[in-house]
Chain A
Amino acid sequence: GNSVTQMEGPVTLSEEAFLTINCTYTATGYPSLFWYVQYPGEGLQLLLKATKADDKGSNKGFEATYRKETTSFHLEKGSVQVSDSAVYFCALNAGGTSYGKLTFGQGTILTVHP
């Protein structure tokens, strides 16, 4: 079946530090990959996406590259801010008979201190 594995948190960083959150996946076919962010008490917001191998998704200084050879989609940001504190979810859509169904990782809590 399809699955997503994220690095365990929580992750605590100082402002302006470099961020990496690892994500690997298992899927049949050619999934689309996503990163979602969830701020406290809110729903999920799409942060970035990639739909095929070697695509790079980017938004608000965050980046992730779809690596088919390592089945990974690691999230990176060069300089985090306090406002980036949130829970980050990696997800995939396997397509085909999965329709739009998303399979999520367990989430990684990020806390950024001033």
Chain B
Amino acid sequence: NAGVMQNPRHLVRRRGQEARLRCSPMKGHSHVYWYRQLPEEGLKFMVYLQKENIIDESGMPKERFSAEFPKEGPSILRIQQVVRGDSAAYFCASSLSENSQMGQYFGPGTRLLVL
């Protein structure tokens, strides 16, 4: 039973390029969360999605960032025109239900470096 999968694990982009991060939730999970971890900081919530719907994007910057979770395929976090401040680890987590009292299952993360 595969866990949460993320790819790529490492991504290097130059300023102004686009970064596309993928997340496949655990089998049977339809709730996906994205978090960002800046160097030496805790994780900050970005966005919560269910299949084909964005439920809560209150933690996502209004510009350049977007997220989707299509009916088929992985969830995608897209960062347009990256800047150095976007360098961080981006973690995806999934849960079985909306009420995650059981906790969320995290992927290994994508480490984005913007040169």
Contacts and interface: CB of A to CB of B under 8 A. Distances in A.
Interface in A1-41: 4, 32, 34, 36, 41
State which size class the interface on A falls in.
Answer: 20 to 34
Interface residues of B, number: 30
A49 B43 CA distance: 18
A104 B42 contact: yes
A106 B106 contact: no
Contacts of B101: 32, 49, 51, 93, 95
Interface of B: 4, 6, 31, 33, 35, 41-45, 48, 55-56, 59, 91, 93, 95, 97-109
Interface of A: 4, 32, 34, 36, 41-46, 49, 51, 89, 93, 95, 99-107
